[in-house]
Amino acid sequence: MTFARPDHISDPDTLPRMPAWVTSAHAETLEDVAFLSGAALNHLHLVLGREDVPKALLRDRLALRAAAACVAFTGRSERETELRDAVHLLRPGDLPGPAGETCQAWRRAVERPVSIKALGRALPAFEPGQIAAWLDAGKGLPVTRAVMVLEAVLREAPRADVAGLIVADAALAQALGWEHVVPLLAAALKRADLRKQGDDLRLAGHRALISSAVEAVRLSTDLARRAAHLEAVAPKLRAKGAGDAVEMFLTRDAVAPSALPLPDRAARRLCDRLVYLGAVRELTGRDTFRLYGV
């Protein structure tokens, strides 16, 4: 595996910034909020088109945030740190628990290009035909379509918040021409918003997407910079399998040393080396059962 950055990939610091007027405007009417959400999503669309943005890593990290929001909707206490443990420290035969299942659903939803089959893998409790019918419930422009899908799912299955938000994000991705689900709605909606309907839900959806698009652009810039640094230090790594390990860090929110394609001791040494080089971070603050990520 080669780590040289292609000449046509730009400096991450040149990623376009979200226009200040998108974040500073105080829109109240549905029309004005819809205009701002369209501007924010268009800007995010441009950022996602950049080759220096590690899109799989971005999606996985946004999936974690979406999962944490959905878990909070249920009144559970698990946050991002606990959710990482729930999915990355599972042993063979272990069950992830309700919060871990939510995290796994979001991670599976973003791993593969949008399709009924991929959504069915993320949401095995629902039949493919049902998922297809929900996707077809959305009409009109992208945000309206996504909100209609969310409303359709929750009308038929009022407790299926996770399914509704995943399928709604899938509808948004399809409408915007994105190949994969990009989790946006869950992290910025409030629990009470999920019980709204019609224009009230549309207004909440537009506001949520403004907030989430701004955050996704900020995160894209940060991850592009971190990924560039990891690729820059990668040639210094001598361990056999280091190339595949680096690729894992560039596509996953968190990695346990035991998941790396190296012997245990070599994997831990590689992680320590990457931390020393400032290329990855230890995410748990623990001395054992550590997780690492860009």
Q: What pLDDT score does 4 carry? A: 41
98 token code pair: 């309700």
Q: What is the mean pLDDT of the chain?
A: 93
Q: Which domains does the chain have, with CATH numbers?
A: 26-222 (no CATH), 237-293 (1.10.10)
Q: What pLDDT score does 1 carry? A: 39
Q: What pLDDT score does 93 carry? A: 85
pLDDT at 24 over 70: yes
- Cα(187)–Cα(158) distance, integer angstroms: 19
Question: How does residue 28 score in pLDDT terms, banded at 50, 70 and 90?
Answer: confident
pLDDT at 127 over 80: yes
Listing DSSP states for 115-168 in one string gives -HHHHHHH-TTS-HHHHHHHHHT--SSHHHHHHHHHHHHHHH-TT-HHHHHHHH
3 state DSSP class of 64: helix
pLDDT at 151 over 60: yes
pLDDT at 70 over 90: yes
- Cα(213)–Cα(208) distance, integer angstroms: 8
What are the residues whose beta carbons fall under 8 Å from the beta carbon of 245, sequence distance 6 or more?
Answer: 237, 239, 255, 260, 261, 262, 267, 270
Higher-confidence residue of 4 and 166: namely 166
Q: What pLDDT score does 232 carry? A: 95
Nearest alpha-carbon partner for 110 in 163, 185, 55: 55
Geometric angle at alpha carbon 208, from 203 and 209, rounded to 5°: 100
